[in-house]
């Protein structure tokens, strides 16, 4: 199982709304994530807007590609893009750059 951790930056003025939107995630988005192999997926938001994402999957690139192929992901990413800083024209999920794991306690 591959553990993936990534960082994004939520716009300060959008933090509360971003949090609220994730408490109301669409059921079809939950299903798509699960079917694409996004396991134990969590998001953590620091007060300054730093977003830390974590998931476990067999193959992150395959899991990301499986989500990219869904219509619900395209809609969700389009709605979420305005919440983030520094996407450089990419969708939020395309801007996810996994951190290098340096330690894991088994």
Backbone phi, psi, residue 65, to 5°: -65, -40
Active site residue 104: no
- CB-CB neighbours of 14 under 10 Å: 16
Catalytic residue of the set 12, 16, 22, 99? 22
Which residues are CB-contacts of 77 (< 8 A; sequence separation ≥ 6)?
91, 92, 93, 94
Contact of 28 with 74, CB cutoff 8 Å:
no
Backbone phi, psi, residue 28, to 5°: -70, -25
Catalytic residue numbers, as ranges: 22
């Amino acid at each position: 199982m591959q553990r993936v951790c990534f960082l994004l930056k939520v716009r300060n003025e959008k933090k509360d709304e971003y949090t609220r939107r994730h408490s109301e995630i669409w059921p079809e988005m939950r299903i798509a994530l699960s079917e694409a192999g996004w396991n134990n997926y969590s998001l953590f938001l620091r007060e300054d807007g730093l977003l830390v994402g974590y998931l476990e999957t067999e193959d992150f690139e395959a899991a990301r590609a499986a989500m990219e192929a869904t219509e619900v992901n395209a809609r969700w990413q389009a709605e979420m893009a305005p919440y983030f800083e520094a996407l450089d024209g990419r969708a939020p999920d395309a801007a996810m750059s996994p951190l290098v794991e340096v330690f894991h306690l088994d």
